[in-house]
Structure 1
């Protein structure tokens, strides 16, 4: 084992960044960049307060008990490892719903909510970052409209000073800053969404308008919402991961495993200042959109193909999937023939080289990135990963057989049973609607495909109305159902 062990720098002393969404990706990405920055510069102004907004309080308290120290194991391959200690997180808070007796319904909300709002209202807080996943913004994934009828958003509208959602927390914190005469913090989304800064701004302003028009106007005029693109593969930890780290003398339930590759591209719009991230490899640019769309459609789009094709056929991880020549060929075809032609990139960008680099990263034998993890929340992800680009292709008269197969695989995946009949959980905000469609149309493939395509909060109506594309999805669905994965891939290759 080629092992490099990097200890954390001393505590920074001041908290300048508040992060919403204390999960594995944040700990293996943004926190790593800030740790690098602090070690390089000794700047004491950019410690991090990280808040978990969901139902898991264990990580919040576990990090607190560990003195806010943990490790990120960065694997280039199974034999090359950098073990990086992270100490840039200086406070962890919990605002989700605590469980009582294992029953979520009896829990209470917002244990540390007031502490979080106070931290957000502090003059020292100049940047707020988010990794709350696509569904955490409570926006219709197709239209971008705030889901005002969602119970969580409805609760924030009714009791805005006791918010439960990320948009609600931002609105209340900004209201407090406005009332105190403080300049607003910059809001930096780090989630995999197109125009993530603009979508965050949209969610916050729409929610603020339901509270106070003057507040909404102040946010619209004064708050910066730069876009960003983040990239690092961070699988969920497994018992095997913990065992590997224990063999190296590191036994901590807060540790994270990731690939060695890391990237962060940020629109440079920080009125209250920011760290000098460029020295640590962050790309500060005027326009993130080309990089963001490239990553969403090529990397994330490829991941989604594997996530819906693989598990019903008994394929558990990305590494297992790309070990198949047929699936590797599918990904390369999708990336170069369907995704890349929809991109407008800066001069000198080599998308074929980028595709090859992604396939190499997917084949990292040290990572076991579970496909069921990637498959979560597909209804929120597929519009930006596949469907918007495919709509542009169809409007130009171009085919999209790989996406048609992927969409068919997603429909097939949402039944919640693999090809052998074993059940699995479909983890998606629209899971009940999927189940209703399968119950009603499960024996009629044409009606089932039509019912899924008619979900206009997922599938753009113009794409659903495209008869040739709908026929391609139906044909792919029949192939998957009748001939399995191998048969569907063979039919795609013949076509």
Structure 2
């Protein structure tokens, strides 16, 4: 784990030199970010070296939030910069009415995204272009199903939040959820991403297009296993033979994803303009990324390991350490910060009492129930995330981290409590 983290961070520093945003005395007339305006951006801004016209889609990603654009899409963008993976471009998708707003903004700028790295030693900006289109957001997901049915699509990936997989309180597939009941009754006009995936897989089975890999990029331990449970569980409710075909032929790789990516607000919109870029949906992120992936792809994959991702059969150890200490620690900080009206995670770390609470919980109540991974021990990992959480450049709000705690605590906090109770340890 230590090697993977060091390589990823070092690579980011080497390829994205730190250079603060250029002050603009009057940037009200900045050109909108678009393919046609890339050449007019300041030379300090890294832009794609590849020809976007040469790209073709191989991945559909459902849930085009900030995290996806700073993480999975960045890895693919960097591969394309190396002259590879040009047939793995991303088509964005969304299944919620609110996704239509994001779609319009991204299409207005040719699906380009400005990533701003926030490091204590400086800031840098990079425009990424791995996404080449955004599927229309429709109540019956007809276009999404059609696009996923195309044999050129070999991976369907998702970031739909920890609570978006239709699980009961015991972790089983929630067949009685109203969304699932609707999709079961209307399998050709589903409302959910999972209903749409099953409809597309039914079409691919009928035409001989074959399966695609179903890839969760959410912060869930065993995220691939949970995605399999939802997709196969839903399919089982509408067509037993199709469910068996999906279970046998599709793959659902587990993965661990890590990068602190704040929400975008007025400060971030002003920051991107300070770099000389008029981007309506920029993304800020820390100078750290990690992606550990189980190498189970039924229809091929990009060579993500060439740009710092770790392909391994031991994802569980990585994700257990990260989810329990980093994501669980985030919840400890954010909930205390909300109560005390401390606005950001970095400010929580600077608050003596909140930091002390985090340190005690992490070191005495979580670390005993986390195994070392490769050369990284749990206490060493706590030191690493303390430095990351304390980064004053990252304005990650306690509200963002604490939001939807009923879903996050289930995966991040409760497993540690259960382990402690089993051995009569302190909680």
TM-score between both structures, scaled by the size of structure 1: 0.75
1:74 matched residue in structure 2: 117
CA contact (8 A) 1:95 1:164 kept: no
2:104 matched residue in structure 1: 61
Summarize the alignment of residues 89-128 of structure 1 with structure 2, pairs less than 5 Å apart: 89-95=131-137, 109-110=139-140, 113-128=141-156
CA shift, 1:346, in A, is 3.4
CA shift, 1:55, in A, is 2.5
* Distance (whole Å) between structure 2 residues aligned to residue 240 and residue 210 of structure 1: 47
CA shift, 1:63, in A, is 1.0
CA shift, 1:149, in A, is 2.3
Consecutive unaligned residues in structure 2, runs of 5 or more: 1-17, 21-43
CA contact (8 A) 2:201 2:211 kept: yes
Summarize the alignment of residues 13-92 of structure 1 with structure 2, pairs less than 5 Å apart: 13-56=55-98, 57-77=100-120, 79-92=121-134
Q: 1:374 to 1:15 in 2, by over 3 A?
A: same
Q: Which moved further from structure 2: 381-390 or 29-38?
A: 381-390
2:317 matched residue in structure 1: 290
Mapped pair 1:247 → 2:264: no
Summarize the alignment of residues 128-277 of structure 1 with structure 2, pairs less than 5 Å apart: 128-140=156-168, 142-277=169-304
* Distance (whole Å) between structure 1 residues aligned to residue 290 and residue 407 of structure 2: 23
1:146-188 CA deviation, whole Å, 9 max, x = no partner? 2222221111111011111122111111111111112200011
CA shift, 1:18, in A, is 0.6
Larger-gyration structure (1/2): 1
* Distance (whole Å) between structure 2 residues aligned to residue 304 and residue 43 of structure 1: 37
1:6-48 CA deviation, whole Å, 9 max, x = no partner? 1023214210011011111111111101000110133321100
CA contact (8 A) 2:151 2:209 kept: yes
CA contact (8 A) 2:228 2:252 kept: yes
1:313 matched residue in structure 2: 340
Summarize the alignment of residues 457-476 of structure 1 with structure 2, pairs less than 5 Å apart: none
Higher-RCO chain (CA-CA 8 Å, sequence separation at least 6): 2
CA contact (8 A) 1:136 1:165 kept: no
CA shift, 1:144, in A, is 2.0
2:329 matched residue in structure 1: 302
* Distance (whole Å) between structure 1 residues aligned to residue 287 and residue 331 of structure 2: 22
Summarize the alignment of residues 365-376 of structure 1 with structure 2, pairs less than 5 Å apart: 365-376=392-403
Q: Which moved further from structure 2: 54-63 or 19-28?
A: 54-63
CA contact (8 A) 2:91 2:135 kept: yes
CA shift, 1:347, in A, is 4.0
1:10 matched residue in structure 2: 51
* Distance (whole Å) between structure 2 residues aligned to residue 334 and residue 279 of structure 1: 37
CA shift, 1:343, in A, is 1.7
1:28-77 CA deviation, whole Å, 9 max, x = no partner? 11110100011013332110001122222111111112111120101112
CA contact (8 A) 1:53 1:94 kept: no
Q: Which moved further from structure 2: 256-265 or 246-255?
A: 246-255
Q: Secondary structure at the match of 1:41?
A: coil
1:86-141 CA deviation, whole Å, 9 max, x = no partner? 11101112436xxxxxxxxxxxx24xx2221121111111111110012221112x
CA contact (8 A) 2:175 2:181 kept: yes
CA contact (8 A) 2:370 2:378 kept: no
* Distance (whole Å) between structure 2 residues aligned to residue 215 and residue 367 of structure 1: 46
The equivalent position to 2:366 in structure 1, one of 339, 346, 356, is 339
* Distance (whole Å) between structure 2 residues aligned to residue 46 and residue 235 of structure 1: 27
Q: What's the C-alpha RMSD, in Å, of the aligned pairs?
A: 1.5
CA contact (8 A) 1:74 1:83 kept: yes
1:437-475 CA deviation, whole Å, 9 max, x = no partner? xxxxxxxxxxxxxxxxxxxxxxxxxxxxxxxxxxxxxxx
Q: How many residues align?
A: 384
* Distance (whole Å) between structure 1 residues aligned to residue 137 and residue 190 of structure 2: 9
* Distance (whole Å) between structure 1 residues aligned to residue 315 and residue 382 of structure 2: 19
CA contact (8 A) 1:241 1:257 kept: yes
* Distance (whole Å) between structure 1 residues aligned to residue 278 and residue 393 of structure 2: 18
Structure 1 stretches of 4+ moved >3 Å: none
Q: Which moved further from structure 2: 4-13 or 125-134?
A: 4-13
1:363-398 CA deviation, whole Å, 9 max, x = no partner? 111111111111122111112211112111111010
CA shift, 1:329, in A, is 2.0
TM-score between both structures, scaled by the size of structure 2: 0.87
Consecutive unaligned residues in structure 1, runs of 5 or more: 97-108, 401-495
CA contact (8 A) 1:48 1:89 kept: yes
CA contact (8 A) 1:133 1:192 kept: yes
